[in-house]
Structure 1
Amino acid sequence: MIRHVAAGFFRRTDAERRDQELAWNRSDQAFFAAGACHILAWTFLETYPDAGFHLVDLRKVGEKDAFHVVASNGTDAFDHAGWTSLDELVRMSEEFEGVPIETLPVTEDSLHSYCQSHWCRPPEGYWSDPIPRAQAYLKQFPAAGSTAVLR
């Protein structure tokens, strides 16, 4: 069972930011918590397109850029550690960051436009293709883990 902790716990080191292979070789949870959360969230939406989920940015209040991206239906949330409530995810993030956190819906219609708008690495910017890795990782978390009915 994967432990649910704030994404900030897994922030990349300066060396991992400079070296994509080093960043790639982190555990799946660390990789999808910090550095590829947007890839996992978009992969979730593509896997469950009719489940009523959307992307949500978690930001420190007053900050322009998100520090974490999750899939949520407004109640349930999915991220690097699997299922939790969106409220609990925000609470854990506030405790870790030590500041208030706000959630904002993502309005971009594609992963590439999101990456351009939010200074995120697009899939082709990783050491290897992160989409198959995200698809495999997602399979570890059955849809039954959510209180929402995913079909």
Structure 2
Amino acid sequence: MYRIDEAKKRDPAQRWALPDRVFFACGACHILAWAFLDCYRHADFRAFWLKPDAGFSGNHIVVTDGTRIFDYHGYTHRDRFLAHSVAKARRWWPGWQATLVSLPPDVLISEAKSRTYDRLWLREPGQFLHDALPRARAFLNRFPVP
């Protein structure tokens, strides 16, 4: 889990200039999740949102087959990932808790559809400085096929 300065997050050029891992950890995780699901339709993965409890920050979108989770880290065992995410978030937000919420893939690339979920608001790939999908696909190629 990374945290970046809000000024960087709001500046399209600074956000785009972030290293890939940080870019896909801080605001573009849903684009990486969609690229994964699109590239590996044969795999039995689904998108999930780590939805922080009310009053907390730390949203994150991942894909999982129930055993493994894939995000900017690559593949991680589900239980290990969840324990790490909770421990890391609690360093910044004591008492942090989250719920895993299943999301249909089309929500990941639609601002309008994402906003139908309470406290979810995702950018579309073209709402970044440049289209984030080619960057997500290139990043995805660094990892083995599931």
Q: How many residues align?
A: 136
| Structure 2 letter corresponding to 1:133 | R
Q: What's the secondary structure of 1:109's corresponding residue?
A: helix
Q: Deviations over 1:35-74 (max 9, x none)?
A: 1000000000000012010001112235698700001111
Q: How does 1:1-150 map to 2 (within 5 A)?
A: 7=1, 10-62=2-54, 67-98=59-90, 99-107=96-104, 109-110=106-107, 111-112=109-110, 113-117=112-116, 118-143=120-145, 150=146
Tell me the TM-score normalised to structure 1 length: 0.81
Contact 2:47 2:105 in 1 (8 A): no
**Unmatched segments (≥5 aa) in structure 1:** 1-6, 144-149
Q: Percent identity?
A: 33
Q: Which runs of 5+ in 2 are unaligned?
A: 91-95
Give the deviation of 1:18 after TM superposition.
1.9
Question: Shift in Å at residue 138 of structure 1?
Answer: 0.2
